[in-house]
Amino acid sequence: MYQEDEILTIREVARYLKMNERSIYKLAHQGLIPTVKIASQWRFRKNLIDAWLENQMSSSATKAVPDGNSVHVPVSGLLRPEGIKIDLAGHRKDEVLEELADLMVEAHGIRDRDIFLREILNRERLCTTAIQRGVAMPHPRRNGRQFTRTPAVVFGCSREGIDFGSLDGELTHLFFMLCAPEDHLHLKIMAAINKLLTDTEVREGLLAAASGEEVMEILRRKEGMQEEFLLNESR
């Protein structure tokens, strides 16, 4: 049994997904599955593989149900203007996490701020939530039912970049902190964020955004394009 935060090899991912290794290698080489190359070896984080799988299932479900009964989770619909900070002040991981936790309280009324932050920090100690491409998705390890009754997302940007322990060794600039009352919602939100941020233009746009409104517009525009693509594909 693999642990939530475990780092997997191609062979282990193939076994976990019940696919052959050649298929996993092809997906990794084409950038179609969340992974990072370290010393010529592909490595995968299990929780991101889970989110990726959920995203694939969600896309298939959306194509099969073109009447609007979609399982798509719009990230822009979960963000609020007061939950966006385009100029994070922190220079260390813990400082940034505190800023983001404060945004969660202000924008979504997250309960028990100190306990929530402790859960976030404990999760980071197990394994960083930073992924390649300068992105991190901090979140509690367990479902967030004790903190919120509805899915919550906030966004922060550090133009300088933070050493967040990313597997690719690069600095992290874009932070989406999330909390959901159910595990399946948590995975869907992670999958939706990951899908958005595979687009270089979206990442560059968020990094250059001059206001929270611009952040929202970038996400809405991209999600609108994705939705239109899915509807067209289902026809």
Domain identity same for 81 and 101: yes
Domain identity same for 60 and 101: no
Q: What is the pLDDT of residue 68?
A: 38
Domain identity same for 122 and 202: yes
Residue 229, classed as helix, strand or coil, is helix
Say if 143 falls within a structural domain.
Answer: yes
End-to-end CA distance of the chain: 40
Q: What is the pLDDT of residue 10?
A: 94
Domain identity same for 95 and 198: yes
- Domain boundary pick from 64, 88, 103: 64
Say if 1 falls within a structural domain.
Answer: no
Say if 2 falls within a structural domain.
Answer: no
- Domain boundary pick from 43, 64, 85: 64
Q: What is the pLDDT of residue 234?
A: 43
Q: What is the pLDDT of residue 83?
A: 97
Domain identity same for 51 and 80: no
Say if 70 falls within a structural domain.
Answer: no
Say if 216 falls within a structural domain.
Answer: yes
DSSP string, 69-134: ------HHHH--GGGEESS---SSHHHHHHHHHHHHHHHH--S-HHHHHHHHHHHHHHS--EETTT
Domain range for 27 is 7-64
Number of domains comprising the chain: 2
∠ at Cα 105 (99, 108), nearest 5°?
A: 125
Each of the 235 residues of the chain gets a pLDDT tens digit; together they read 556 568 899 999 999 998 999 999 998 888 888 888 888 899 998 878 887 776 565 444 434 333 333 446 789 999 999 999 999 999 999 999 999 999 999 999 999 999 999 999 988 887 788 887 899 999 987 678 899 999 999 999 999 999 998 877 899 999 999 999 988 888 889 888 988 998 999 999 999 999 999 999 999 999 886 654 443 444 4
Q: What is the pLDDT of residue 3?
A: 60
Domain identity same for 58 and 151: no
Go through 160-195 and write b for each residue having 16 or more CB atoms within 10 A of its CB, e for each that does not.
ebbebebbeeeebbbbbbbbbbeeebbbbbbbbbbb
Is the full-model pTM beyond 0.75? Answer: no
Domain identity same for 163 and 105: yes
Domain identity same for 33 and 141: no
CB atoms near residue 147 (< 10 Å): 22
Domain identity same for 109 and 134: yes
